[in-house]
């Protein structure tokens, strides 16, 4: 190991990556003495000791068209983050998801001897399989969340390790009783959890659709209560948007409150994304929805090669979780789907059974995903020292 204290640069571009980075940092601190972290992250990584060089909210953006207005700022952050890497000369750079940002960052650092690891393999099995060949020269190692991903990248010369899905190491045993008491919820009140996404672009597009959906669902269910978990930087936006919703909405932030909410939930209406796995782990039956700009949607239809977006459905290769995407992401379709789950305990249990089958396929190969990932990162640092 290097005689100086090791320095690791991590770059996460959205809340799910922030949580991933924080778990990795914790695992790395158990392996390395007096390790220093630099880079970009959110509140979870800050709690582990990272002072972010860029606000993570500036990077989190989804969609082919949606990113265009943000390009000047994003390109500036990429340049500045690359400059930071050249100044800090870390022992290893770990980029986490956010391929639009992180792949461009890696390209700018291709002429350096900084070992580069990317955490979360791009979904080449779902769209644009040719990306595997383009990604391979950018990194020294890839950390994959899904067991079937490594062959796609190893075939083009990129060493890849299946580490397991990060949700597998999160504590999903929330405090349902405490949550109900703190929020004056009766023991028998049905709870609908509404999750409009963690990116501003998602929230702006989905909240109006979810608002109408909630109004339709609550119209015949006066006792239904609504809980809306969100991220801290969007709390104001979300709170303002839901204040006139029926169901006396409760807006919560933070991981503890999020898990308490899931433990309390009867069912959920959620934006597609990592949260679908979190809901599966918590056993919360859900309806998954997503919509994007019409131009982005038209392009995506020609590029996407998978029939599903929910990871549970992808793994099982069937529609175990209802999905309402793009043109089908409408309140008149979402409301009956949510109502059907609320009204049918057998349907909810059937979805939980599907969750269990899918989650068996995501178990880490050895131990916790962050521990496997940390071993790879430390191995690259040792390898650099011997060269």
- The confidence band for 359, taking pLDDT boundaries of 50, 70 and 90, is confident
Question: What is the rounded distance in angstroms from the CA atom of residue 141 to the CA atom of residue 153?
Answer: 10
- The confidence band for 102, taking pLDDT boundaries of 50, 70 and 90, is very high
- Which residue did the predictor score with more confidence, 259 or 62? 259
- Per the prediction, the chain carries an average pLDDT of 87
Q: Is 157 left (phi over 0), alpha (psi -120 to 50) or beta?
A: left
- What is the SS3 assignment for 9? strand
How much is the pLDDT for 18?
A: 93
What's the pLDDT tens digit per position in 275-297?
888 899 899 999 999 886 554 54
Instruction: Check whether 30 has a pLDDT greater than 90.
Output: yes
- The confidence band for 127, taking pLDDT boundaries of 50, 70 and 90, is low
Instruction: Check whether 273 has a pLDDT greater than 70.
Output: yes
Question: What is the rounded distance in angstroms from the CA atom of residue 306 to the CA atom of residue 325?
Answer: 13
Q: Is 64 left (phi over 0), alpha (psi -120 to 50) or beta?
A: alpha
Q: Which secondary-structure segment (H or E) carries 193? A: strand 191-195
A 10 A CB-CB count for 55 gives 12
In the numeric block, which tokens belong to residue 188?
């028998």
What's the pLDDT tens digit per position in 344-353?
999 999 999 9
Least confidently predicted of 180-194, 198-212, 295-309, 362-376: 295-309
- The confidence band for 21, taking pLDDT boundaries of 50, 70 and 90, is very high
Using an 8 Å Cβ cutoff, are 251 and 238 in contact?
A: yes
DSSP classification of residue 12:
E
DSSP sequence for 97-133 = S-HHHHHHHHHHTTTS---EEEES---TTTB-TTHHH
Least confidently predicted of 124-128, 181-185, 189-193, 263-267: 124-128
Least confidently predicted of 70-74, 82-86, 260-264, 293-297: 293-297
DSSP classification of residue 362:
G
Catalogue all structural domains in the chain, each as residue range(s) with its CATH number.
Answer: 7-164+364-386 (3.40.50.2000), 176-362 (3.40.50.2000)
Whole-prediction pTM value? 0.69
How much is the pLDDT for 171?
A: 57
How much is the pLDDT for 374?
A: 96
Beta-ladder partners of 196? none
Distances, alpha carbon 292 to alpha carbons 11, 272, 322, 325, in Å:
25, 11, 18, 9
How much is the pLDDT for 304?
A: 55
Q: Please, which residues have CB within 8 angstroms of residue 240's CB and are 6 or more apart in sequence? A: none
- The confidence band for 235, taking pLDDT boundaries of 50, 70 and 90, is very high
How much is the pLDDT for 166?
A: 80
Q: Please, which residues have CB within 8 angstroms of residue 118's CB and are 6 or more apart in sequence? A: 94, 95, 96, 102, 106, 135, 138, 139, 141, 142, 143
- The confidence band for 367, taking pLDDT boundaries of 50, 70 and 90, is confident
Distances, alpha carbon 246 to alpha carbons 121, 190, 267, 335, in Å:
40, 14, 17, 14
Question: What is the rounded distance in angstroms from the CA atom of residue 185 to the CA atom of residue 182?
Answer: 8
How much is the pLDDT for 299?
A: 46
Instruction: Check whether 75 has a pLDDT greater than 50.
Output: yes
- Helical residues (DSSP H) of the chain, grouped into ranges: 15-29, 43-47, 71-88, 99-108, 131-135, 150-154, 176-182, 200-219, 235-242, 255-264, 275-282, 294-303, 311-316, 331-343, 345-359, 369-386
Query: Hey, which of 55-59, 133-137, 231-235 has the most confident mean pLDDT?
Result: 133-137
How much is the pLDDT for 305?
A: 56
């Amino acid at each position: 190991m290097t005689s100086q204290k090791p320095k690791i640069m991590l770059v996460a571009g959205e809340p799910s990556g922030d949580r991933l980075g924080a778990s990795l940092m914790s695992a790395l601190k158990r392996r390395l003495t007096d390790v220093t972290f630099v880079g970009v992250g959110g509140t979870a990584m800050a709690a582990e000791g990272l002072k972010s060089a860029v606000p993570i909210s500036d990077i989190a953006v989804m969609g082919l068209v949606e990113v265009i207005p943000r390009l000047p700022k994003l390109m500036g952050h990429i340049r500045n983050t690359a400059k930071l890497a050249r100044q800090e000369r870390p022992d290893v750079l770990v980029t986490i998801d956010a391929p639009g940002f992180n792949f461009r960052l890696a390209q700018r650092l291709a002429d350096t001897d900084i070992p580069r690891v990317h955490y979360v393999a791009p979904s080449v099995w779902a769209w644009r399989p040719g990306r595997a060949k383009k990604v391979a020269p950018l990194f020294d190692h890839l950390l994959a969340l899904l067991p079937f991903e490594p062959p796609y990248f190893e075939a083009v010369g990129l060493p890849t390790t299946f580490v397991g899905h990060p949700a597998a190491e999160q504590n999903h045993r929330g405090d349902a009783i405490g949550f109900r008491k703190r929020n004056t919820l009766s023991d028998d009140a049905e709870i609908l959890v509404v999750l409009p996404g963690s990116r501003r672009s998602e929230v702006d597009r989905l909240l109006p659709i979810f608002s109408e959906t909630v109004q339709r669902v609550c119209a015949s269910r006066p006792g239904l209560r609504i809980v809306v978990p969100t991220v801290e930087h969007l709390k104001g936006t979300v709170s303002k948007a839901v204040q006139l919703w029926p169901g006396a909405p409760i807006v919560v932030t933070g991981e503890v409150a999020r898990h308490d909410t899931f433990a309390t939930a009867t069912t959920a209406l959620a934006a597609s994304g990592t949260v679908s796995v979190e809901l599966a782990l918590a056993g919360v039956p859900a309806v998954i929805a997503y919509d994007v700009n019409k131009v982005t949607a038209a392009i995506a239809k020609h590029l996407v090669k998978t029939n599903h977006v929910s990871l549970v459905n992808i793994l099982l290769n069937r529609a175990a979780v209802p999905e309402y995407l793009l043109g089908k992401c409408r309140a008149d379709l979402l409301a009956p789907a949510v109502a059907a789950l609320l009204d049918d305990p057998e349907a909810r249990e059937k979805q939980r059974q599907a969750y269990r089958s899918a989650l068996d396929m995501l178990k880490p190969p050895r131990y916790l995903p962050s521990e496997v990932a940390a071993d790879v990162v430390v191995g690259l640092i040792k390898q650099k020292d011997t060269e």
